């Protein structure tokens, strides 16, 4: 069963209380942030707090991602040392513009893994794409490293680079499609942007409905109240599950009769529809039914 990565909750690395308790929200992944949620004067203390949080067994079963500062800043390499040595599952590299950014990251991770005795290759990476250059290079970025588990669009820096602002999503249309296609070409996951208005459930759910239909695996989140809403919206409905069972039964009967393509209630059923039916059942088993 493929790992679910619907929700990736940003937790500011400088907030000791949030770091110590956020496992209770059970997102698919937590993202301990050392970059933009942390002020310059708190960078060093946040790194220590995150290293400590990585050791907490209460996070077992939740993927632990650390967003480091870019490697060309004063903090990036120290962040990476702490995150890899601390046992992060995945390093999120912000502001990834080209494959070279990841080559450098990968080289450093391999060195640190060797030095601290971690299994070589056990630290995953993900690239956040936050500029027009990054979007244009998305396929090259997505395909450039075996460590990459996914790529994410980061809307706030991206819209600044594009000289526009966050709105109804029109401003993200091309970038979302480009990131998704790049992820699918590379066979990795695609993550959508954070939704900043934490009190607007209706707006959040509209955005989730759009990105689910487009095909994103999930979304970066900034508030725990968004997790349950997202997981529920990503779960298949009872109707979807019932239909998937009917498709699988019809497909088995067709196979017994030696038929390739059949119809169910006037609709063609062939291999892609049968594969989709299996994936609906798998998702229902993993995430429950939408309520």
Does the footprint of ligand Q5B cover residue 222 (CB under 6 A)? yes
What's the closest the beta carbon of residue 198 comes to ligand Q5B, in angstroms?
A: 5
What's the closest the beta carbon of residue 84 comes to ligand Q5B, in angstroms?
A: 20
Region of 5-13, 80-88, 247-255, 280-288 interacting with ligand Q5B (CB under 6 A): 5-13
Q: What is the DSSP annotation of the chain?
A: -PPP-SEEEEEETT-HHHHHHGGGG--SEEEEE-STTS-GGGHHHHHHHHHHHHT-GGGTTSEEEEEPPPTTSSSHHHHHHHHHHHT-SEEEESS--SHHHHHHHHHHHHHHHHHHTPPTT-SEEEEEE-SHHHHHTHHHHHTS-TTEEEEEE-HHHHHHHTT----SSGGGHHHHHHHHHHHHHHT-EEEE-----TT-HHHHHHHHHHHHHHT-SEEEES-THHHHHHHHHHSPPHHHHHHHHHHHHHHHHHHHTT-SSEEETTEEE-HHHHHHHHHHHHHHHHH----
| Count of residues near ligand Q5B by CB under 6 A | 25
Region of 109-117, 151-159, 256-264, 270-278 interacting with ligand Q5B (CB under 6 A): 151-159
Q: Which of 88, 142, 148, 152 binds ligand Q5B (CB under 6 A)?
A: 152
What's the closest the beta carbon of residue 103 comes to ligand Q5B, in angstroms?
A: 21
Q: Which of 7, 22, 125, 217 binds ligand Q5B (CB under 6 A)?
A: 22
Please name every residue paired with 65 in a beta bridge, in sequence order, or none if there are none: 31, 90
Does the footprint of ligand Q5B cover residue 194 (CB under 6 A)? yes
Among Mg ion, ligand Q5B, none, partner that 76 touches (CB below 5 to 8 angstroms by kind): none
Does the footprint of Mg ion cover residue 148 (CB under 5 A)? no
CA distances from 256 to 169, 249, 269 (A): 48, 11, 15
List the interface residues with Mg ion, window 100-139 (CB under 5 A).
130
What's the closest the beta carbon of residue 219 comes to ligand Q5B, in angstroms?
A: 9
Distance from chain centroid for Cα 139: 17
Does the footprint of Mg ion cover residue 157 (CB under 5 A)? yes
Region of 33-41, 50-58, 265-273, 277-285 interacting with ligand Q5B (CB under 6 A): 33-41
Among ligand Q5B, Mg ion, none, partner that 274 touches (CB below 5 to 8 angstroms by kind): none
Q: SS3 sequence, 69-93? A: CCCCCCCHHHHHHHHHHHCCCEEEE
Does the footprint of ligand Q5B cover residue 36 (CB under 6 A)? yes
Does the footprint of ligand Q5B cover residue 10 (CB under 6 A)? yes
Does the footprint of Mg ion cover residue 154 (CB under 5 A)? yes
**Interatomic CA distance for residues 224 and 125, integer angstroms:** 23
What's the closest the beta carbon of residue 21 comes to Mg ion, in angstroms?
A: 25
What's the closest the beta carbon of residue 8 comes to ligand Q5B, in angstroms?
A: 9
**Residues lying near Mg ion in the complex (CB under 5 A):** 130, 154, 157
**Residues lying near ligand Q5B in the complex (CB under 6 A):** 9-12, 18, 22, 33, 36-37, 94, 128, 130, 152, 154-157, 193-194, 198, 220, 222-225
């Amino acid at each position: 069963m493929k790992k679910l990565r619907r929700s990736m909750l940003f937790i500011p690395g400088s907030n000791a209380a949030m770091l110590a308790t956020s496992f209770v929200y059970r997102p698919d992944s937590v993202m301990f942030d050392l970059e933009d949620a942390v002020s310059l004067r708190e960078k060093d203390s946040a790194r220590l707090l995150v290293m400590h949080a990585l050791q907490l067994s209460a996070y077992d079963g939740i993927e632990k991602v650390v967003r480091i500062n870019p490697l060309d800043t004063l903090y990036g390499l120290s962040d990476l040392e702490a995150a890899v040595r601390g046992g992060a599952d995945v390093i999120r590299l912000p502001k990834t513009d080209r494959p070279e950014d990841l080559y450098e990251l990968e080289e450093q991770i391999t060195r640190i893994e060797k030095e601290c005795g971690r299994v070589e290759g056990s630290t995953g990476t993900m690239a956040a794409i936050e500029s027009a250059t990054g979007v244009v290079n998305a396929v090259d970025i997505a395909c450039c490293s075996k460590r990459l588990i996914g790529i994410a669009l980061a809307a706030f820096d991206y819209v600044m680079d594009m000289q526009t602002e966050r709105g109804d999503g029109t401003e993200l249309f091309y970038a979302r499609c480009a990131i998704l296609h790049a992820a699918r070409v590379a066979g990795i996951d695609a993550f959508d942007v954070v939704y900043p208005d934490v009190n607007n459930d209706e707006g959040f759910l509209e955005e989730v409905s759009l990105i689910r239909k487009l095909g994103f695996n999930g979304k970066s989140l900034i508030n725990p109240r968004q997790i349950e809403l997202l997981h529920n919206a990503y779960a298949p409905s009872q109707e979807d599950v019932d239909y998937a069972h009917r498709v699988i039964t019809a497909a088995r009967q067709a196979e017994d009769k030696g038929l390739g393509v059949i119809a169910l209630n006037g609709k063609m059923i062939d291999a892609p529809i049968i594969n989709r039916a299996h994936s609906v059942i798998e998702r229902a088993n993993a995430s429950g039914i939408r309520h």
